[in-house]
Copies of this chain bind each other. A is one copy, B any other.
Amino acid sequence: MKLAPVSPRAPLKLLDKHARVTDAPDEEKLERKTDEMVEQIADLQRMFYADGRFALLIVLQGRDASGKDGTIRKVFTGVNPQGVMVTSFKVPSEEQKQHDFLWRIHHHVPPRGMIGIFNRSHYEDVIVTRVHGIIRKDVYKPRYGHINDFEQMLAANGVRILKFFLHISRDEQKERLQKRLDNPEKNWKFNPGDLAERAKWNAYTKVYRDALRRCSTPWAPWYVVPADDKKVRDYLIARTVADTLRSLDLRWPKADPSVLKETID
């Protein structure tokens, strides 16, 4: 069980049924495998940090309650926080709106050695803006190209980019939002505005499809994560991250031989 990148040439449906896999291992096995991957990520991160040739940028997108926060908690708790920076992008401030849409994003791109996680991202600027009709076609259409160019430039400078769309079904979202109302410890997460967004379900599906297909590139692939089952979601993302880190052929930097001869008084 493994994620494949979105193909810009193949159709992309994002139907409710695609929010579940049919070949999931049993729960216990899945949890064990996720734990293994998480441990591998934590181990690899140390060398990744020391190696210092690459940055890793992980973009998480998805509807409300699709599990962006939960993914970060499950997959990255256990990684040394000194090597991880998480940025949550909210509605842009008045100051940010006076800049191009990538300005605030660029600032938070992780430096070499670091894993950066975007909880929402520049993709909101071709998603929520379109659904709410607050952007003209002649403004949003060129943005897909701007995003691809921007991400290519990052990749050319050592930033590995993985983008995950957490895909949940309408029923699953209903259940999760209801839990936020029912569980006093989750009340603070409930935002009545989420219901207005939920009412625009199909409009969101359409703009997500557009963004995922137009911006899934060899240097910054999009992955659709079947996210109705949290354990499946965590495993698939953890595995993709671990595979990516493992593929980098990381090494411990060697000290200059003259340095190794130093004596310490």
Contacts and interface: CB of A to CB of B under 8 A. Distances in A.
Interface of A: 42, 50, 52, 69, 72-73, 76-82, 84-86, 88, 117, 119, 174, 177-178, 181, 184-185, 187-190, 192, 195, 198-199, 252-255, 259-260, 262, 264-265
Contacts of A195: 262, 264-265
Contact of A190 (B73, B77, B259): B259
Number of this chain's copies in the assembly equals 2
Contact of A81 (B76, B187, B254, B260): B76
A72 B117 CA distance: 19
Nearest to A173: B264
B184 A252 contact: yes
13 contacts: A50-B185, A50-B188, A72-B80, A73-B80, A77-B79, A77-B81, A78-B78, A81-B86, A81-B117, A184-B254, A187-B255, A188-B253, A190-B255
Contacts of A254: 184, 187
